[in-house]
Amino acid sequence: MKLSLKIIVALIAGFIAMLALVYFEFFSESYFSKRQHISEQINAIEIAEKALDYQVLSSGFFLFLNQDDIIVKIDAVEQAIDTLQNNKHFIYEHAKILPILSTYRRAFEKKTAAIYDFQTANSAIKNATMALIALKKEAILIFDTSKTVERLFLESFTVMASSVLLAKNSLDADMIGYLEQGIKTLLHHHFTDVTKEKINLSLIANLTVFKDFFPQYKESVEQLDNAPTKEAIALLRESFLKDDLTELNFVKYFSYFLIVLYISSLGLIIYFLIRSEKEVRTDKLSGLGNRKAYEARIRMAIPSALFLVDINKFKNYNDFYGITSGDKILKMAAHQLKQLCQSWDNALLYRLGGNEFGIVIEHKKGIDFEAIGLNLLKAFHDKPIVINGIETSLSITVAVSTSVPLLETADIALKSIKKDRVKDFVMYHEGLNLFQVIQDNITKTHELHYAFKNDRLIPHFQPIVSLISGEIEKYEALARLVMQDGEIRSIVDYLGVVKESKYYPTLTRMMVQKSFEAMKDLPHKFSINLSSDDITDYETVAMIETILAHNPQIAQRVIFEILESEAMNDYQKVVDFIQMVKGYGCQIAIDDFGSGYSNFLHILSLDIDIIKIDGSLIRHLDTSLHAVLIVETIVGFAKKAGKKIVAEFVYNEAIHDIVKELGIECAQGYYTGKPEALS
C-alpha cells in the first residue's frame, strides 16, 4: 500500500516527538498547560449548562422568547462535552474518569429531553395564562357587576385565573381537580350578548388548554429540578483532581519510560492513522461513506450511474419531532437503502448531504435505471417507519444520471423534480441542463414584462365550499397571466422569477386592485394572498388602506390570507396591518398552516379569524395516518380557539369525506371547484 502524505508526516512527527521526550523535564510546563485546559473544559461544561438553565428559566417568564436560543445553548453544552471528550490528554491520561463523563452525557441527554417536553408544555401553559389575563381585562370592562349572574361570573373568573397562576407557580397538581370543577361550572354560564359569550368560551378554552398541559409541565419542571447533571459534573471534577494528583507524583518517572513505550507504539500510530483515514471517509451518523468517499470512488473513472435519494421536507420532521428523531429517521432511511442495495451488483451507498443519499452503480448494458428508481420509491412507500410511536411512510424523491459530472447532473435532475412537484423520479437528460434553466428564466422575465406592461394580469377565483351546507361560501383570488397568443397561465410557474425581479410589489398591487374591481358588482366574499414582503412594504400597505377606504362595502367582504411560514418575521408590522384592515371590516386568514413549524402562539395572540390547513397535509389524508394525526391536532386547537377552518388541496372524494369527518367547516380544491373568471 502506498503511504499517504499524512502517514509520512506522522512518522516524521513521531521521530521528532521521541527526541522531544528525552528533554521532557525541560518542557514539563506543557503538561501543566494541558491540566489547565482540562480544568477549563470541565468548567466550560458547567458554565454552558448554567447558561442553558437560565435560558430555560427565562422561557418560563417571558412571553416572546426565541426558542432557537435554547437549542443553541443545548448545542453549546454538547460541544463543551465533545471538546473535553476529544481532548487527547484527557483520553490517554485520565481514561479512568471517562465513564463519569459518559454518565454526565447520559444525564444531560435526559435533561435535554425534559427541556423539549418543558418547551412544549410551557408554550401552551404560558399562552393560556397570558390569554386569561387579557380576557380578564376585557371582561372587567364589559360585564356589569350590578347583575348577579355577571358578578358571579366575574368572581368565578377571578378565582379560576388566580388558581391557574397559583398552580403554575406552586406546581400544585391538586389544583387541576379544582380547575376541572371550575370549567364545568363555567359551562353552565350562557350569555345572550355575543361578546360576553365569546369571553366565556375563550375562558373555558384557555382553562382547558392549561388543564391538559399542566401535568406534562409539572413533570418536566420536576425532571429539570432533579437533573443529576450537577452531581455528575461535581464528581467529574473531584475525580479529575484526585487522578491528576496521583499522576503528578509519577510524571517524572514515567517520562523516561514513555521514550521506550513511544518507540513500540509507532506501529499503533500508523494503524490508527490508517484507521482515521477511513473514519474521515465515513459518515458518523449513518455509518455510510461520506462525500469524500464518494469523490474517491468517482476518481476511479469506472463508468457509473448515480441515484440521488432525497427525503422530502425533512426539515418538517426535525421541526415537528425534534432533531434527535430526525437523526433516527436518517439512520432508518440508511438501513432501508442498505437492504435495497444488497440486491444490486456492485452498488455503493453514500450519505452526500443532510437528507440526501447517493447510490453508485456500475453502468452496464441492460440495466433498467427507471425500474431501479421506481423500486426505490415503492420500497419507501410500502415499508412505513415508526417515529415516536407513530407509523408513517417517508416520502422520497429520486433522480438518476449517467452523465459526467454525475453529482452535478443528478442534482440538476433532482431540482427539476422539486420545481415541478408532479413526479417523484426523473433521469437526467440534456433538456434539464442549467443553460435551459437560464433560458427559461430569461423567457419568463420577458413574458412577465409584457404582461405587466400591457395589463395582461387577471384574477381567477376558486370557490371555497361549506362542508355543512354544500354551498359556495367565498372565493380565493388567484393570479393568472394572459399570454400574447391568448393562453392563460398560472402565476405559480413565474413566482420564482417574480420574487427575484422588480415585479413582485406590482403583482400584489395589481391583484388587489383587479380583485376589488372584479367583485364590486358581485355579492361574494373573497380572499387575497399576502406575503411578508407585502406586509413590510410601505407603499403596498398604503395602497391597500386607500382602496379599503374608498370601497367600504367591498372591504366588508375581504379576507387577507397571510402565509404562516414566512409572514411573522416582523411581528409588530403584522399586528399593525391586521389592526388596520380589521378597522375596515376585513377578516384575516393564516394560509398554509402546518406546512412547517406552525406556531400556535400566533393564532392565540393575533386577531385571526380563519386557519387554512396546508395542502401538503390534506393531500395525504387518505394515505397517511401521520397527516391525519397532525390535522386532527390543528382542528382540535382551532375549534378550542374559536377559529374557522379551511382545508386546501381537496382534490378527490376520499379526501373530501375525510375532511368533513374531521369537523373542518370548508374545503377548497379541484374536487369542489377550479379557479375561473367570475362574471
Residue 676 falls inside a structural domain: no
Higher-confidence residue of 328 and 604: namely 328
Instruction: Say if residue 227's pLDDT is above 90.
Output: no
pLDDT tens digits for 488-514?
998 888 887 887 777 888 899 999 999
Instruction: Say if residue 563's pLDDT is above 50.
Output: yes
**What per-residue confidence (pLDDT) applies to 567?**
45
| Prediction pTM value | 0.43
Instruction: Say if residue 231's pLDDT is above 50.
Output: yes
Q: Which one of 228-242, 261-275, 435-449 scores highest in mean pLDDT? A: 228-242
**What per-residue confidence (pLDDT) applies to 168?**
67
624 contacts 312 by C-beta, under 8 angstroms: no
Q: How confident is the model at residue 349 (pLDDT cuts 50, 70, 90)?
A: very high
119 contacts 67 by C-beta, under 8 angstroms: yes
Q: How confident is the model at residue 56 (pLDDT cuts 50, 70, 90)?
A: confident
**What does the alpha-carbon distance between residue 106 and residue 127 come to, in Å, rounded to a whole number?**
32
Higher-confidence residue of 333 and 318: namely 333
Please indicate, yes or no, whether residues 622 and 474 belong to a single structural domain of this protein: yes
**What per-residue confidence (pLDDT) applies to 435?**
56
7-16, 411-420, 566-575: least confidently modelled range? 7-16
> Which range marks the domain in which residue 220 is found?
125-225
Please indicate, yes or no, whether residues 530 and 632 belong to a single structural domain of this protein: yes
CATH number reported for the structural domain that contains residue 410 in this entry = 3.30.70.270
Closest CA to 167 of 123, 220, 211: 211
pLDDT tens digits for 82-119?
888 888 877 887 788 888 888 888 888 888 887 777 77
41-45, 187-191, 522-526: least confidently modelled range? 187-191
Q: Which of 245, 280, 315 is the last residue of a domain?
A: 280
Instruction: Say if residue 63's pLDDT is above 60.
Output: no
16-30, 80-94, 192-206, 613-627: least confidently modelled range? 16-30
Strands (E), 173-271: none
Please indicate, yes or no, whether residues 235 and 377 belong to a single structural domain of this protein: no
**What per-residue confidence (pLDDT) applies to 95?**
81
Q: How confident is the model at residue 1 (pLDDT cuts 50, 70, 90)?
A: very low
**What per-residue confidence (pLDDT) applies to 510?**
93
Please indicate, yes or no, whether residues 112 and 149 belong to a single structural domain of this protein: no
Residue 531: Cβ within 10 Å count? 19
Please indicate, yes or no, whether residues 399 and 416 belong to a single structural domain of this protein: yes
Query: How many alpha carbons fall within 13 Å on the CB side of residue 583?
Result: 11
Q: Which of 280, 307, 322 is the last residue of a domain?
A: 280
Residue 423 falls inside a structural domain: yes
Please indicate, yes or no, whether residues 554 and 475 belong to a single structural domain of this protein: yes
Instruction: Say if residue 475's pLDDT is above 90.
Output: yes
Please indicate, yes or no, whether residues 370 and 476 belong to a single structural domain of this protein: no
pLDDT mean over 392-406: 85
**What per-residue confidence (pLDDT) applies to 160?**
76
Residue 673 falls inside a structural domain: no
**What per-residue confidence (pLDDT) applies to 135?**
81
DSSP structure string for 556-573: TTEEEEEETTTTTSSHHH
Please indicate, yes or no, whether residues 447 and 532 belong to a single structural domain of this protein: yes
643 contacts 610 by C-beta, under 8 angstroms: yes
Length of the chain: 679
Q: Which of 414, 432, 450 is the last residue of a domain?
A: 432
**What per-residue confidence (pLDDT) applies to 29?**
61
Instruction: Say if residue 520's pLDDT is above 80.
Output: yes
How many domains, the chain?
A: 4
Higher-confidence residue of 123 and 234: namely 234
Average pLDDT, the chain: 81
**What does the alpha-carbon distance between residue 534 and residue 150 come to, in Å, rounded to a whole number?**
44
Please indicate, yes or no, whether residues 374 and 424 belong to a single structural domain of this protein: yes
Instruction: Say if residue 64's pLDDT is above 60.
Output: no
Higher-confidence residue of 594 and 482: namely 482
